[in-house]
Amino acid sequence: MDTFGSILAHHSEAVDPTLVEWIRHQIDDVVGLDAVSIVLLLGALIVLFPAGLLALVWLQRRRAARRS
């Protein structure tokens, strides 16, 4: 069996469940928020970052048009 196949055969899940549980526990300890709050916060950041960039470009174009 090739290396990739042997890695997949290690667990029935795609990721080591013990490792994922440890990572989740560490994130909960560091951040101090529940899972829903973290998802909402990250979702807001994902939406607001591009929106902020678009607003910045819009303001720059508006300022450039006033100078011309």
Mean pLDDT across the chain? 85
pLDDT digits (tens, 9 = 90+) for 51-63: 999 999 999 999 9
46: its two tokens:
């994902």
Structural tokens at position 45: 């950041």
pTM reported for the whole predicted model: 0.54
Query: Which residues make Cβ contacts (< 8 Å) with residue 59, sequence separation at least 6?
Result: none
